[in-house]
Amino acid sequence: MSLSATQTKPLTKPSMHMLCHQAPVIPVLTIHDLGHAVPLAEALVAGGLPVLEVTIHTPAALAAIPLMARVPGVTIGAGSLLNSQHVNQAHQAGATFASSPGATRQVIDACKDLALPLLPGAASPTEITDLVNYGFDLIKLFPASAGGPAALRSLSAPFPKVHFIPTGGISQDDALDYLTLPNVACVGGSWVAPAQMIQEEHWGGIRKLAHQARLLGNGH
């Protein structure tokens, strides 16, 4: 059943738009070791990327969120939310926004009930249409690499009032191809915090990658 067929009051989320004005890239982070949480957040913020999304599918993720939230200047969200239990766990952990790879009415309603701003995911025009009818005008396009920048250019005509945060498969090499599109608010990516660098605690290298990503916004 489509979301539009069972609408409830749309979720208001002005802060989601504000987040994209803070930096052109939202790092999508996978935390396996709780000891990495704070220095990772510090490195990314120092590099100029203050808005972070922590995927919740590792045992350390929910415990990492409140630790990272204490880093000065950071804004922490929870990603990969699939159901209302995930939403509740993310909210209790202190996440200030939620992100989902796809969108279900269960996730949308749970976020609305908690007044937790949501970035819902979509992969097709049908899913985007459902979210527009539900009241969203900022949508995660996931996985972005499936259609690339060409798909986003094509989506601008049927969805002129929608802005997107393409996520999934984006790298430093092609991020600017997305960011120069008028319907792209910012991008999500994991390249600024590679798993090997995190494992090796190479915080200086991650800070440098964050700084390079931040500079992508100069022409955006």
| Residue 94 to residue 116: CA distance in whole angstroms | 10
Averaged pLDDT of the chain: 92
50 in any annotated domain: yes
| Residue 14 falls inside a structural domain | no
pLDDT in tens, 178-193: 999 999 999 999 999 9
User: 191 Cβ partners below 8 Å, 6+ apart?
Assistant: 170, 171, 172, 209, 213
Tell me whether residue 172 is in a domain. Answer: yes
- Residue span of the structural domain in which 120 resides: 23-219
Active site residue 140: yes
**Is residue 53 annotated as part of the catalytic site, yes or no?**
yes
Other CB atoms within 10 A of residue 18 CB: 12
Is 16 inside a domain boundary?
A: no
Whole-angstrom Cα distance, residue 7 to residue 168? 28
In a domain, 18, yes or no: no
* Residue of 13, 42, 53, 127 with catalytic role: 53
Let me know if residue 159 belongs to a domain.
yes
Residue 12's pLDDT band (cuts 50, 70, 90): very low
Give 34-69 pLDDT, tens digit per residue: 999 999 999 999 999 999 999 999 999 999 999 999
- Largest CA-CA distance found in the chain, in angstroms, rounded: 49
In a domain, 79, yes or no: yes
Residue 175 included in any domain: yes
pLDDT at 1 over 50: no
> Considering its fold, how many domains does the chain have in total?
1
In the set 140, 161, 200, 208, the catalytic residue is 140
Find the CATH number of the domain harbouring 62: 3.20.20.70
**pLDDT of the residue at 17:** 86
What confidence score (pLDDT) does residue 180 get? 97
